[in-house]
Amino acid sequence: MSKTALVTGAGRGIGRAIAVRLAAEGYQVGLTARSADQLAETAKLAEAEGATVTAVPGDVTNARDVSEAVRVVSAELGPIDILVNNAGYASQPMPFTDIDPDDWWRVVETNVRGPLLFTHAVLGGMVERNSGYIININSMQGSKVVGASLAYGVSKAALMRFTDALAAEVDGSGVVLVDLSPGLVRTGMTANRPDLDALPVAAWSPPEACAEKVVALVSGAYDGLSGRYVALNDDLDDLVKRLDGDARVLRMQPPSG
């Protein structure tokens, strides 16, 4: 029986690439995002890879939408074996004194509350089955200061700690949680960042590279990395070799001086 993966923010960009790649790997795929039209496009691409696909539009910060997405995907495709929390939001970088507090908080809500709600909805079943993967798409901005993107950095640092602490809580349950930073990817989110336009081509990563890393992380070969923050260019085999008992080592910015 095929396993089921649920990908949030699957309407475009990184989420779409992950969903299509998982479909190509033989997974049944559940999709959710706010745009039904974009989800339909992703569904067609995933179905072309031979996957059975269920798409449920919704807002990741809305508890009812999250419950409905998990209910429908589970009913149509079976228990969720893999959750990829990819949906995210970033506001325009600006000094803190110039921000709109409501928009600032929307960043935190989307990037933290969204993964929290979806994880809460699927984790119990995974623990009961002694098996499951939760991959949280994080960012290098969670581990270091980048420009004036304070809300985004705060949200991703919080997500990093969420993954770290929850992995410790469910240690031994068979459920693996990993943060994955995809690096800089040209998506709708980064298209609104004119401060990034001057970066060289080599600084950018294709969304397909992130999808490749997700497939590796859910393969079973790297379960020892549960609780870890992993960057796109990390050699997973090397990370496993260098583990010193506990993978839960976060790459937070070291103190200056």
Residues that are catalytic = 152
User: How far, in Å, CA of 67 to CA of 165, rounded?
Assistant: 23
- Closest by alpha carbon to 255, among 149, 141, 133, 145? 145
Number of helices (H) and strands (E), helices first, in the chain? Answer: 9, 7
Helix axes 13-24, 36-48, angle to 10 degrees: 30
Distance CA 209, CA 78 (A): 28
Cα separation, 22 vs 49, in Å, equals: 9
> Using an 8 Å Cβ cutoff, are 80 and 125 in contact?
yes
How far, in whole angstroms, is CA 49 from its chain's centroid? 22
Q: Which of 144, 134, 113, 119 is nearest to 227 (CA)?
A: 134
Closest-CA residue to 230 (of 92, 101, 152, 133): 133
